[in-house]
Structure 1
Amino acid sequence: MNTTRVVLLIVCLVVSSTVPVGATAATQQGEAYAGTHIEFETASSAIVDYSVNGETILQSVKVQSQSNAQSQGDVRAGVGLSALTELSGAELSLNSQTEVSATVTAESGATMQAHDNSRGILVVRSGDNSQYVTVNVSRSSQAESENDQRVVVTTEDGTKVTFIVVGDGEVTVNEQGNVSANHGSDGTLVFRSYPEGRDDNDQKQEQLISEGKAAGRLEWTHRCCLRP
């Protein structure tokens, strides 16, 4: 076997080792999940290209503990949440996946659970540490704060998506037109999409979610978010 053939064989072996297998696979950027309704990848410190029903809605989602974000200089003392546009996200790992969901864990203690339903639900839980979250939406989307507990984004094709804070925390549109949030150790950030439109009943349900007006607030939030 001559030198050229040896080099070609090595290249082929390297390329074949990177081919994804199944719905969840390692990629050069990290790991990937592909379900019936949702798809995304995890880079080292972000969920990227989060799509619902074939439309990429979230370009990236990053999470970091508030203490680490402040020590790294991502958050400056006395500056409001809207000024948080860039976050050095915590390292992520696609920890588990089933036919209906995938769970991503962060070194900061947060978990991000994606539910494979038509709403593309993504639930970010703080764990034991207060967290910051930054979400870059697609460039053609328009984000608007309804209040400090809820942000509504409209995508280019008219799909409505909402970000809702449950418990101690706040969510807002940041200075770059994306979404930034903070929430305490018992807080949760919920993402929901409405491919067929968002009506009054949806808004009432979101209000109940944000206010936690039910026994077992987080458990009830989890159940209602899974409704198609």
Structure 2
Amino acid sequence: MCRNLTSLGVNVDGGYSEFMRIPADYIKNGMVIQLSDNVSFIEGTFVEPVAVSINALSLARPEKIRKAIIIGDGPNAMIHLQLLKKYYKVPEVYVTGIIESRLQMARNFGASKAIDIVHDHDSLENIKGNMDFIDITIGNRKALDQALTFIDAGTYLVVFGGSLEDSIITTSMNQLHYNQVTYTGSTGTTLEHYNEAAGIVNNKILDLENIISKAFPIETIKDAFLYSRELKGMKGAITFD
């Protein structure tokens, strides 16, 4: 794991810019990829989120997963869902959330069942058992508490969503020991996963454009931030004329 991470738009200038200078090291190390002619720039923006998603899912041995649950109904959850169903061919993938329009999107993307955690407790109970993978895509304590109720023998639990308010995880030592449960976090990605993600995007294996619910010209970027903060849609995109 890199201890000296540099990232465009984070600690290297370049976020929300139409044109920028690429540091020479990035080019030297193969960190600039080319989009296919039939891939839009909006689709191209998904290379990074798909790459970090592959990194997270790889920690749970996706080729062995038969049954998975995704906690959360945001854009990352939709990417993870499609990777699990379309790329890794996982037979059963469930999604939980609270916003019906997002749950419907999960159904459209192939979820075995998309469950409203506020109003459909019976469905949550009915899918418990033999859960190979629990994928926490949102960073709050309630999501973690819900996830722990699905732990089973041999379960892999990956915390993908960072939390603004840190929480302490408490769990049973005996459950960890006797059920051989694996807990891990995931952040960032590798160059290998980045190139793998580029191939997925360039070959249109996933439906990415439909995750974008609204596009904003760069001049209205403040509106885009408010749109995201207020959960008015699934995901916004910034465009340039």
Same fold, TM-score > 0.5, yes or no: no
TM bracket, shorter-chain basis? under 0.3
The TM-score, its normalising length taken from structure 1, stands at 0.25
Task: Determine which structure has the larger helix proportion and give its number.
Answer: 2
